[in-house]
Structures are given as C-alpha cells and as structure tokens.
Amino acid sequence: MPFIEIQDLTKQYGPSLYALRSVSATIERGEWVAVMGPSGSGKSTLLNILGCLDSPSEGKVSIEGKGLTLLPPGELARFRAEKVGFIFQQFHLVPYLTVVENVMLAQYFHSLAEEREAAEALRRVGLGDRLHHLPSQLSGGEQQRVCVARALINQPNLILADEPTGNLDEVNEAIVMSLLTDLHREGHTILMVTHDPEIGRMAERRLSLHHGRLTEEISTVAVEEHALADKLLQAVWRKQEDVGSGLVPAEKLPEFVANRATFLLMAQEGSITLEEGKIGFTGKGQRRSDELIRRHRLAERLFYETFALDEDHLHENALKLEPLWTPAVTEKICMFLHHPRTCPHGDPIPRGACCP
Ligand code: ADP
Ligand code: MG
C-alpha cells in the first residue's frame, strides 16, 4: 500500500477554471518529492488538498490507506494536527505570541502544550536562544526556522512545504534546505512545492504541474553531477586562495547562487561544510580539490613548457586534456616536469605524493 495515493483529483473553481485536472500519483513512505511548475499551475491547490485544508471537486486521496475525502470534518482536523506538518512561504506566525508560544500553539491541538518540547524543537533549528522573542524581532530566515520547528513538534509522518524558501535569501535558504534534508534522512515523507529548479533538485523525485495536469520529470544524471561538483570544488579552492581564508562567504562565490542545490548535496555527501553562510572543505573535499587544482595547473605547465602555447590559451587547453589523467598519470607528468612549484601564471601547485 503506498503512503499517499492520489487518484483522478480534479479541482474546479468555475465553469472553465480548473486548478487541477485528473491528477494521479503515488508517494511512498520516506520519499522526498518536489512538485514543480510555474505560478498558477495548481501546486498550492494540490498541497492544500493533501493537507486537508481544501477539498477536491472530484477524485480521491488516501494516506496510509485512509480516504481523506470520506472523513467527517472533526476527524479530518485531528488527522491534520497529528499527521501533517506545514511549512508555508508566508510564515503565518502569530505576531503577539513569542517564538516558543507559537510552537506550543501547534502542539496544543495535538496534546498538552509542553514548553520543554517546544524549546527542544527550537533548539534543533538553531533558535534555542530566541525562545522569548516575538516573530517581528527575528529575520525572515529565523521566522521560517520557527515554522520548521512548529511543523516538527507533533512528529508528523508527512511534511508539506509550500515554497518554503520563497521569501528567503540564499544563505537562509541553505539553512532551511539542510533542515529539510535532515528530516528526510530521519524518515519523514516530504512533499515540497517550488517553482525553483535548484530547490527542486534537492528532492529525490520531481513531479511537474502545467495548467493543472501532472507529468513526471526524469532525475538528473549522476555523472553530470560529479563533473559539476568537481568544478565547484575548484571554484571554492580558488576563492580560498583569493580571500586568504579557509572559510569562504557564500556571497563571495558567484558560482554559489546558480548551483545552490549542488552545494547542499556536496555538504550532504561530506566534501564541504556549509555553516552560517560560509563554505569550507572537509578532509575529503580538501584532498579532492587539491588533486583537481594540482592536475589543472600541471596540465597548464605541460602545455606551456612542452608545446610553448601562449599564456592566454593554457587554461582552456588544460581543461580539455586533464579529465583523462588518472592520479598515476598526474604523478608521471609531475616527475617529467621536475615537480614544478607554480603554474605558468605564477600560482602555487599543491604538492603531490611524488614531490620531494
Ligand atoms: P500555484 O500554487 O501553482 O501558483 P494555485 O494552486 O494557487 O497555483 O492556483 C491554481 C489556479 O487556481 C490558478 O489559476 C488560481 O488563480 C486558481 N485558484 C486558486 N484558488 C482559487 C480560489 N479560491 N478561487 C478561484 N480560483 C482559484
Ligand atoms: Mg502557490
């Protein structure tokens, strides 16, 4: 039995206005699915129906085998409070309640409000020291983290997120996305609506809505991801060299904005650290990026010395040749060139195991 089963869901607002047309899909327990599509394509309508905030004109939704459309209103409300955690683009925090009270409010519908649990959820999202502040005293990113804590307080099976990073800058977006990554890893099922392809790539699977109709998108190819990750590791390495520090502020790296998802994936698989908007290497990432920079600068050196290519064309020629070099070939070339210490542009070449 699938965790969520959506069958022929239609939502009609007027004689010819359809928000959803005959949408069918299944979602397994523990999956992270992104619902993509342009504005007005029906994403929020679908999410709201799954969260029992809205009802379909036709069709069925069942969660854990339970048909939502058949539940009486009281049971529907209880189901929503116990099983579903919402994260919205607009934070929907109560302005005159403190942060910890806002989280307890969500809990109130479920069980006895317990401040200790609410505080624990807030600590988890890094807001342990802001419990008694009002929402207006928090930044947008911090308010969204309160919403994540609020969504978590009842330990819901299903997390529904509607453009959860829509109002955030890139750094806060990375923080919220890594919280979602942690939740996914712990086994929560996540259905996330976004129009941003970079955010959609974080999910395991992407569904696409166009004018209320659903199509499934194919996932990205792993090989391309690796080549891109290697390119980004080198960009971080060079920026470290540039700013003279091991931690590079994300906003100083032009590649960050266009490749946010890949950076988050790299953090997940343990080659970089991404904390408080600063990018650094782990041991593994340092080794890999040293190797890549070394290979590139040796390739430039080879073109410069052996083929007497002029300086302006070294970089592009090196890029064509170097992907073919295994670590053993790189060592041989380093020896052949007598272990040069700098590239033709004067930048240092990281030392290798063969170097004296
Ligand atoms: P998305 O979240 O993808 O931007 P929505 O699900 O909010 O799209 O809306 C899908 C379509 O349904 C839009 O054309 C929107 O104008 C329409 N719609 C949504 N809610 C209502 C409503 N309450 N009354 C009339 N039309 C609505
Ligand atoms: Mg929407």
Q: Is the CB of 43 inside a 6 Å radius of any atom of ligand 1?
A: yes
Region 29-46+76-215: CATH code: 3.40.50.300
- Average pLDDT value over all residues in the chain: 89
Least confident of 43-57, 76-90, 97-111, 303-317: 97-111
What sign results for the dihedral spanned by CA atoms 55, 155, 145, 246?
A: negative
Question: pLDDT-based confidence at 258, cuts 50/70/90?
Answer: confident
Q: Which numbered ligand comes closest to the C-alpha of 19? A: 1
* Sheet with 4-14: strands ordered across: 17-27, 4-14, 58-63, 66-67
Question: pLDDT-based confidence at 89, cuts 50/70/90?
Answer: confident
Is a pLDDT exceeding 80 seen at residue 106? no
Between the CA of 44 and the centroid of ligand 2 the distance, in Å, is: 4
For a mutational test of ligand 1's pocket, the pick from 44, 57, 163, 191, i.e. the residue with the most ligand atoms closer than 8 A to its C-beta, is 44
Q: How far apart are CA 155 and CA 168, in angstroms?
A: 25
Q: Is the CB of 156 inside a 6 Å radius of any atom of ligand 1?
A: no
Nearest to 118 by CA among 134, 133, 136, 106: 106
Q: 139-177 burial string, b = 16+ CB within 10 Å, else e? A: eebbbbbbbbbbbbbbebbbbbbbbbbbbbeebbbbbbb
195: exposed, middle or buried (C-beta count within 10 Å: 0-12, 13-18, 19+)?
middle
Residue range 307-328: mean pLDDT, rounded? 87
Residue range 309-330: mean pLDDT, rounded? 88
Q: Is the CB of 44 inside a 6 Å radius of any atom of ligand 1?
A: yes
Is a pLDDT exceeding 80 seen at residue 314? yes
Residue range 74-99: mean pLDDT, rounded? 85
* Two tokens, residue 50: 């799954």
Q: Which numbered ligand comes closest to the C-alpha of 43? A: 1
Question: pLDDT-based confidence at 349, cuts 50/70/90?
Answer: very high
Q: What is the pLDDT of residue 153?
A: 85
Highest mean pLDDT among 17-21, 80-84, 170-174: 17-21
Q: Is the CB of 42 inside a 6 Å radius of any atom of ligand 1?
A: yes
Pairing of strands 248-249, 213-217: unpaired
Highest mean pLDDT among 9-23, 87-101, 203-217, 315-329: 9-23
- Whether the full predicted model's pTM is greater than 0.85, yes or no, is no
Residue range 343-351: mean pLDDT, rounded? 94
Question: pLDDT-based confidence at 222, cuts 50/70/90?
Answer: low
Percentage above 70 pLDDT, the chain: 96
Residue of 122 and 113 predicted with greater confidence = 122
Q: How far apart are CA 102 and CA 153, in angstroms?
A: 11
Question: pLDDT-based confidence at 14, cuts 50/70/90?
Answer: confident
